[in-house]
Structure formats: structure tokens, C-alpha cells
Structure 1
Amino acid sequence: MKRPLSARPALPVLAVFALALAACSQPAPPADNAPTVAGDPIATRAVMVGTEGPTLPACSSISRVKAAGTDVYWAPGETRAVKAKLAGGASVSLCEAAENDAWFGVVFAAPGTDADMCGVGKTVPNAREYQGPCRWGWIKGGTVQLGG
């Protein structure tokens, strides 16, 4: 005996709906900023802003990535996993130097967004970890034109 249509379980329909919602809630990262090296970072260290004191901008200078581009890492000296890739000519704010300028902590806007939204041109009362809204990471010294 067939059951009426209204009495059939709606479970298959609900499952399809749940899968569709799950797929929408996890957008893919931008292709130009996807990790390219396998493995988790061994260390992570946030970039500090305001290290020059409360009367100067949170990050000391705006620089341009050299023509070859550069990888962005999770911490100074950490090269196991790439956090992002920056194209040649990309603008970055230099916020912190480490290991005798062998590494620079940088803040940079996502492609297609306004760098002014990063807020690093403003003063901060005390040195602190950068927490957004822009991207941050560590680049090797010599990969940017300082003040460029």
C-alpha cells in the first residue's frame, strides 16, 4: 500500500538542503592568497603595530614589493608554510623588523580593497598585535623597496 505524498519522510529533501547550506557557508580563499606550501607553520607570531610610540603612525612606512613578488609567512624565520603571496608592486605597510632587518612584519589589504581601511596610518596609544581588518604576515628582508 502506498503512503500519501504528504506522509513520506522529508529527510532526503532536508539532507540536500543542509548540504547546500554547508557549501555556501565556507567560501573558497582567493586564488592569489591560497597557501601554496604543504604543512602547518611551526610558529606563528602576530605583527606588532605602534612600536615607534604613541605619536607616530602604527606602521612606520608604506613600501612596494619588488618586481619578483614575495611570499608572506606566519612568523619571522618560519618558511614551512606560505600564508599569502604578494605580486611585484603590491603595497605593504612595514610595521615591525626582526632579526636585524632579515624579516619585516607587514600589513596589507586584500586584492581589490582600499589600503586605508587597514588603519595603520593612525597612531595607537600602546604597541599591540595587529588584529585586522586587513591581512598581516612576515616577509623576508630585501623583498621590498623601502618607502617605495
Structure 2
Amino acid sequence: MKQGLVFPLAAVMAAALAACSQPAPPADNAPDVVGEPLATRAVMIGTEGPSLPACSSISRVKDGGTDVYWAPGETRAVKARLAGGARVSLCEAAENDAWFGIVFSAPGTDPDMCGVGKSVQNAREYQGPCRWGWIKGGTVRLGG
């Protein structure tokens, strides 16, 4: 080995060992990514049975707003951002109410067009015409 390569090689190896000793950042500290999310899970409607509305509750986002994600527990890619006071339909709860599957209309459109106020025969994935996603529990005023 040439004498000029010894020092740079030692420096590279020391840096690699130092990187291995650092703990991984917590999941909530993961950077936002652009493009496809790591996980996607559609919101289910009609989970309360055919005699009740497809989504159980109309609620309002708490002051400060909230991010909408592609799946419960998936916080790396934000699907949408809702302002405080925005109206959402709660359709499904996951992870002991830590996450809510919601349906919401695009700004400037009629929320009644989402079709979740009427019953559906069987539980199924929401297919539109409105938007859907997952929000963290505690970010809405229930029944608002």
C-alpha cells in the first residue's frame, strides 16, 4: 500500500465507524418525502353497518390545522394540509383512536357531495368523489 493512501483510508474507516454508533432518529423525526408514500391504506366507509351513515361523525379540525397522511402511522409523506375549522367526516378509527380515517371535500366544493352521509350496504374502501386520508387522533373537535 502506498504511504499516501494510509491516512485517507484511516479517516474513511473512522468516519464509517462513527456513523454506526449514532442511534437512528425517531420515526416522527423522519423527513418529508416527495413522491409515493411508504405505505397507503384507503379509508373504509360503512363500518358501522347498513342502517347508519357511511361515516359516523362530522367534525371540525382544531385550531392550528392538521396534516393528512396516506396511512395510519405513516408520517413521512403528507397527503394534504387542513386548516383549523375545516369540516371532515370521521369514517374509521385505527390503533385505539390514535388515527382517524377521514373524508373531506376540496376547498370551495360542497361537502355534501362526498356521499358519506347516507348508508352503504357493505363496508368498503372510499372511492370518491371527495378526498380521503388519515389524521392523528386529537386533531379534531368531535361532532363539531
TM, length-normalised to structure 1: 0.75
**Which secondary structure does the structure 2 equivalent of 1:96 belong to?**
strand
Corresponding residue to 1:96 among 87, 92, 109: 92
Which ranges in structure 1 are unaligned for 5 or more consecutive residues? 1-36
**Which secondary structure does the structure 2 equivalent of 1:67 belong to?**
coil
Deviations 1:52-92 (A, max 9, x none): 00000000000000001000000000001000000000000
Looking at structure 2, the residues matched to 123 and 86 of structure 1 have their Cα atoms a distance apart, in angstroms, of 26
Deviations 1:9-67 (A, max 9, x none): xxxxxxxxxxxxxxxxxxxxxxxxxxxx3243111000000000000000000000000
Looking at structure 2, the residues matched to 111 and 121 of structure 1 have their Cα atoms a distance apart, in angstroms, of 19
**In structure 2, what is the equivalent of residue 126 of structure 1?**
122
Looking at structure 2, the residues matched to 131 and 80 of structure 1 have their Cα atoms a distance apart, in angstroms, of 23
- Give the CA RMSD over aligned residues: 1.1
**Which secondary structure does the structure 2 equivalent of 1:84 belong to?**
strand
Matched, 1:107 2:103: yes
Matched, 1:68 2:67: no
Which ranges in structure 2 are unaligned for 5 or more consecutive residues? 1-31
Matched, 1:44 2:33: no
**Displacement of 1:143 after TM fit?**
0.2
TM, length-normalised to structure 2: 0.77
Q: After the TM superposition, which parts of structure 1 deviate over 4 Å for at least 4 consecutive aligned residues? A: none
The count of corresponding residues between Structure 1 and Structure 2 is 113
**Which secondary structure does the structure 1 equivalent of 2:102 belong to?**
strand
Structure 1 segment 27-42 matched on structure 2, within 5 A: 37-39=32-34, 40-42=36-38
